[in-house]
Amino acid sequence: MKALLSRAPGGPETLELADAPDPVPAPGQVVVAVRACAINYPDVLIIEDKYQFKPPRPFAPGGEVAGIVDSVGDGVTGWQPGDRVIGMVGHGGLAEKVAVDAARLYRLPDGRDFAEGASLILTYATTIHALLDRGRLAAGQSLLVLGAAGGVGLAAIELGKAFGARVVAAVSSDEKAAAAMVAGADEAIVYPRAPFDRDQSKVLADRFKAAGGKAGFDVIYDPVGGDYAEPALRSIGWEGRYLVVGFPAGIPKLPLNLTLLKSCDVCGVFWGAFAARDPAANAAHVDHLFRLWADGRIGPRVTGRFPLADGGRAIAQIASRGAIGKLVVEV
């Protein structure tokens, strides 16, 4: 089979389309013939050896796929060749075939294409866990979403609205603001590119505060980090919840006196560990997501499709923070 391989740490330009052995399913595994692999920020990190997990090389990046069951290993029930599936693989998805633990497969509904299916679980499951478990978001509350035009950002807008919140989207361009409003945001703020000096940080904090109103935001969803974090935290309300999701703009240092003054929580969001530690709770969230998807209340926005040979270009676009919605490699 063909696979887009990382042979040494480096950027997307170091990936090589090459032959690799076809996977054979171990007991409890299913081999999926990949039709689509969604690209996410962890793909940027994993090929540079900056992610929490460092697979042995050579390996293919790509953590979420959709495709067709090719073969099943011993002990697998409920799946058979020809089934349309979504699979969470961690890495290995940028290949023609990948072995997946059967427990990490979901059935792709009829009428949904593979690119949509590959784009659903990671962003939306991260976000529903963040908003409900960590953020305790409730109807009538307010939600500020940073990086709101990316995959997880648009998911946060849609889920925030589905749960009855007022949603303010913060983005870096007018084009991204338009995408956020189409996704259902009540208001969009266009912020400048970091880094910020002290005065610029205060100006942005004041804009966030104005959008949050006198009470401030109940929940702040931050998949960006960097110099955007402190201005956002300054707009949080009493006993608000600040959700730490990711750091493409850098790992921020927050002034903890703000957490005392607002009696607020800074909450880490690590969906992968949550799903492993509490699979029943994660399964309930995924069931909820499939119902919302069927009802048309959420839906991945696939804005770029790439052939396997150009998978590095998709990863580079994510790394530059230029993507709106989801980018997908089609195999």
pLDDT digits (tens, 9 = 90+) for 57-96: 999 999 999 999 999 999 999 999 999 999 999 999 999 9
**Which one has a higher pLDDT value, 326 or 321?**
326
**Cβ-contact 265, 242 below 8 angstroms:** yes
Residue 143 contacts residue 153 (beta carbons within 8 Å): no
Q: Which helix (H) or strand (E) holds 222?
A: strand 217-222
Using alpha carbons, list the distances in angstroms from residue 209 to 115, 146, 289, 293. 38, 14, 31, 33
Is residue 118 within 8 Å of residue 328, measured between CB atoms?
A: yes
Q: 122: part of which helix (H) or strand (E)?
A: helix 121-128
Q: Judge whether residue 52 has pLDDT over 90.
A: no
Share of the chain above pLDDT 90, in %: 97
First to last CA, the chain: 11
Q: What are the structural domains of the chain? A: 2-120+300-330 (3.90.180.10), 123-272 (3.90.180.10)
Mean pLDDT of the chain: 96
pLDDT tens for 95-146 read 999 999 999 999 999 999 999 999 999 999 999 999 999 999 999 999 999 9
Distance CA 272, CA 125 (A): 9
pLDDT for 230: 97
